């Protein structure tokens, strides 16, 4: 793939992002049930893409200065993305404070999840125990639910700010009355009134696609659509949030827990 120039305008259809997500999950599927479900979902989406008009979004590719301006506005919004290490530490603090009878076992399980590699098969019983840990950590209050809230807020806000900066136009987007939705940029930013025409899933899918274009390396191309957070026994995120998958309008039985690139 040729390098993407900051002078380029990239056309993007959210349904194509959904298909790409499912195709990547299909390549990693390790059961006939998962493969069959993914094959059917991909076929259904392709049929829909061919038979129904799909909105097309025109996306700008950020220069170094524009990336800096995006990061400035994202920071100014108060959005932060806590890493897995911070969440794991907060989980341990909550388990220590709750001091359940199986405290040592639960702490060891957190260690095991941290040490596992993405794609490793995880014992279903361990997944159930991990859900117990998350429930305890939330119930104890303190840092863990606060960090979870920070992550949810980042996942909601980052794509909106990305669209403000780099969504340059669209075709096929309808207003509530069924007419073509007006598109307006003001002072170099797409207006909030314009973004109100988008359904939340489309807005997030477009925003995450924009962020994937900010660093078009081979690694970034591999993760250019919002990754799934669900699983079929593979190592999940410690918080098991599905927000990124929902942004693409898809769900699956396997996936990753990587964070969209923003630089």
What is the tens place of the pLDDT at every residue in 164-175?
999 999 999 999
What are 198's two structure tokens? 């988008």
In this structure, the strands spanning 56-60 and 167-171 are: antiparallel
Q: What is the pLDDT of residue 93?
A: 93
Residues 6+ apart with CB under 8 A from 241: 148, 151, 152, 155, 229
Q: How many helices (H) and strands (E) does the chain have?
A: 11, 5
Confidence of residue 8 (pLDDT cuts 50, 70, 90): confident
Q: What is the pLDDT of residue 262?
A: 52
The pLDDT of 184-198, averaged and rounded, is 96
Q: Looking at the predicted structure, is the pLDDT value of residue 45 above 70?
A: yes
Contact between 87 and 238 under an 8 Å Cβ cutoff? The reply is yes
- Return the H-helix or E-strand segment holding 227: none
Confidence of residue 119 (pLDDT cuts 50, 70, 90): low
Q: What is the pLDDT of residue 121?
A: 63
Tens of pLDDT, residue by residue over 173-186, are: 999 999 999 999 99
Least confident of 33-42, 62-71, 76-85, 223-232: 223-232
Handedness of CA 22, 248, 40, 229 (dihedral sign): positive
Residues 6+ apart with CB under 8 A from 91: 110, 133, 134, 137, 144, 238
């Amino acid at each position: 793939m040729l390098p993407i120039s900051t002078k380029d305008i990239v056309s993007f259809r959210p349904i194509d992002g959904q298909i790409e997500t499912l195709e990547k999950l299909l390549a990693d599927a390790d059961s006939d049930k998962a493969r069959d479900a993914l094959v059917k979902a991909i076929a259904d989406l392709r049929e829909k893409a061919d038979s129904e008009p799909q909105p097309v979004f025109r996306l700008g590719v950020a220069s170094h200065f524009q990336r800096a301006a995006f990061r400035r506005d994202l920071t100014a919004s108060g959005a932060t993305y806590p890493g897995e290490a911070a969440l794991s530490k907060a989980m341990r603090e909550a388990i220590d404070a709750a001091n359940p009878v199986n405290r040592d076992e639960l702490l060891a399980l957190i260690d095991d999840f941290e040490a596992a590699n993405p794609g490793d098969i995880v014992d279903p019983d361990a997944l159930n125990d991990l859900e117990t840990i998350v429930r305890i950590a939330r119930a104890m209050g303190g840092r863990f639910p606060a960090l979870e809230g920070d992550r949810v807020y980042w996942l909601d806000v980052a794509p909106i700010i990305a669209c403000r900066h780099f969504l340059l136009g669209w075709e096929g987007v309808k207003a509530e009355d069924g007419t073509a939705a007006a598109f307006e940029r003001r002072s170099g930013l797409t207006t909030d009134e314009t973004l109100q025409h988008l359904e939340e899933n489309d807005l997030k899918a477009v925003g995450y696609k924009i962020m994937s274009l900010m660093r078009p390396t081979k690694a970034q191309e591999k993760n250019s659509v919002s990754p799934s957070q669900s699983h079929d026994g593979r190592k999940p995120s410690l918080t098991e949030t599905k927000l990124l998958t929902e942004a693409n309008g898809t769900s699956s039985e396997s996936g990753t827990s990587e964070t969209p690139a923003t630089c």
